[in-house]
């Protein structure tokens, strides 16, 4: 096991001026499960491939433990990688697939059998060792690919969207198995996904990337409770955070019919930037039903209701006299609110919501960075 360090690691693809990964600074602890997450093209897979030695590093350095592996061949880095594609040999049994890398390395047969048997037991594959991949389900094939990595007993596991080819229910169960397995093995793991729910449920810490830049790295709850900027706020959380630009008038954030009290320190920081507007974010669970007479409420016309049994979510659009102004200032064309599942409204209903005091997130209009009270 080992730590992993990206020290201003940069990758610029030939023919482009903009780095795919721009001066990535990231320290991953020994035995940690770290998830790299972000939208398509953000640089997460490139970062992983730089660590694996499959992409050149154009600037900075990468270290595994005390070793500088920046320009070291992949075979010498003591890593094992699990890809989105299982890449199993169809003519080989499960046992032969899992032990093939050890066989190529000249490992004694008894040692190969022992490691394969141990990995198969961990992955509940013992009864399938003699089968060919075509006789396995998608989830079982992915576990074989995991087993192939485990038997090598590497210092670092690298996983590049390994669950993308599985159906939704199988993804949920398999991600739980992978996270549990990593805890038992204690091997430093870097996991890439575009699915922020997957990232939040699996990682000890989550690193959010966008356009090649590291936006924030924190625990899942830290990202959810204190997003560092507007991008992280909108990306982390399902359903997404409601985000809109409010005017500041007499120490309050005002947008159409919505009127929210804000701390004096926030008003001062906004004024210091020479602005009179602030970006305000609020989670769906921060919206509470309010009476139509309540001042500062947000009237919402219900378009869709998602009833999930334990939860229900309303997707609607601003209503009321100032609806058009509110809609223009929203980062999304919807307002999303969590409501009581046993008393959910109907499509076409009009509901007045108020933002729970203290649950607001404030961001600079100019920089997009979080403003702390």
pLDDT tens for each residue of 308-357:
989 999 999 888 777 777 778 888 878 999 999 998 899 999 999 989 88
- Helices 109-122, 138-150: inter-axial angle, 10-degree rounding: 130
Give the residue from 206, 234, 262 where a domain finishes.
Answer: 234
pTM of the model: 0.90
**Number of domains present in the structure of the chain:** 2
Q: What is the pLDDT of residue 44?
A: 96
- Residues near 311 by Cβ (< 8 Å), separated by ≥ 6? 338, 341
Helix (H, G, I), strand (E, B) or coil at 146: helix
Give me the mean pLDDT over the 268-279 stretch: 93
Give the residue from 234, 249, 281 where a domain finishes.
Answer: 234
In this structure, the answer to whether residues 229 and 283 fall within a common structural domain is no
* Residue 371 located in a structural domain: no
Q: Which DSSP category does 240 fall into?
A: P
Instruction: Name the nearest CA neighbour of 287 among 301, 297, 277, 295.
Output: 297
Element (H, E) at 260: strand 258-261
In this structure, the answer to whether residues 210 and 352 fall within a common structural domain is no
If you average pLDDT over each of 178-192, 198-212, 288-302, which comes out highest? 198-212
CA 351/CA 271 separation, integer angstroms: 34
Give the residue from 234, 256, 273 where a domain finishes.
Answer: 234
Partners of residue 208 on adjacent β-strands: 37, 216
Which structural domain, as residue segments, surrounds residue 116?
Answer: 4-234
CA 76/CA 68 separation, integer angstroms: 11
Give me the mean pLDDT over the 188-193 stretch: 96
């Amino acid at each position: 096991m080992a730590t992993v360090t990206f020290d201003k690691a940069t990758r610029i693809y030939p023919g482009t001026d903009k780095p795919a990964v721009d001066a990535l600074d990231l320290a991953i602890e020994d035995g940690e499960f770290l998830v790299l997450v972000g939208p398509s093209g953000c640089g997460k897979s490139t970062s992983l491939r730089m660590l694996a030695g499959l992409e050149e590093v154009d600037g900075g350095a990468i270290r595994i433990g005390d070793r500088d592996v920046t320009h070291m061949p992949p075979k010498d880095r003591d890593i094992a990688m699990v890809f989105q594609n299982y890449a199993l040999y169809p003519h080989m049994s499960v046992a032969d697939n899992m032990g093939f890398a050890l066989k190529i390395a000249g490992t004694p047969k008894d040692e190969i059998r022992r490691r394969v048997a141990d990995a198969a037991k961990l992955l509940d594959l013992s009864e399938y060792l003699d089968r060919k991949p075509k006789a396995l389900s998608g989830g079982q094939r992915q576990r074989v690919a995991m087993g192939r990595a485990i038997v090598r007993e590497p210092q670092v596991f690298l996983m590049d969207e390994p669950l993308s080819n599985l159906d939704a229910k199988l993804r949920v169960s398999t991600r739980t198995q992978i996270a549990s397995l990593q805890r038992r093995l204690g091997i430093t793991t870097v996991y890439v996904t575009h699915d922020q729910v997957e990232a939040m449920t699996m990682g000890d810490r989550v690193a959010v990337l966008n356009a090649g830049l590291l936006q924030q790295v924190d625990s899942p709850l830290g990202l959810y409770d204190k997003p560092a900027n507007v991008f992280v706020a909108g990306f982390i959380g399902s359903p997404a955070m409601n985000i809109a630009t409010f005017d500041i008038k007499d120490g309050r954030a005002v947008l159409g019919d919505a009127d929210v009290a804000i701390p004096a320190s926030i008003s001062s920081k906004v004024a210091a930037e020479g602005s009179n507007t602030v970006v305000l974010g609020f989670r769906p669970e921060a919206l509470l039903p309010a009476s139509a007479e309540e001042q500062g409420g947000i009237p919402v016309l219900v378009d869709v209701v998602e009833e999930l049994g334990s939860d229900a979510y309303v997707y609607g659009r601003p209503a009321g006299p100032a609806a058009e102004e509110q809609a223009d200032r929203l980062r999304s064309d919807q307002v999303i609110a969590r409501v009581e599942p046993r008393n959910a409204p109907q499509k076409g209903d009009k509901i007045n919501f108020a933002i729970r005091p203290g649950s607001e997130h404030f961001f600079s209009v100019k920089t997009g960075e979080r403003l702390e009270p």
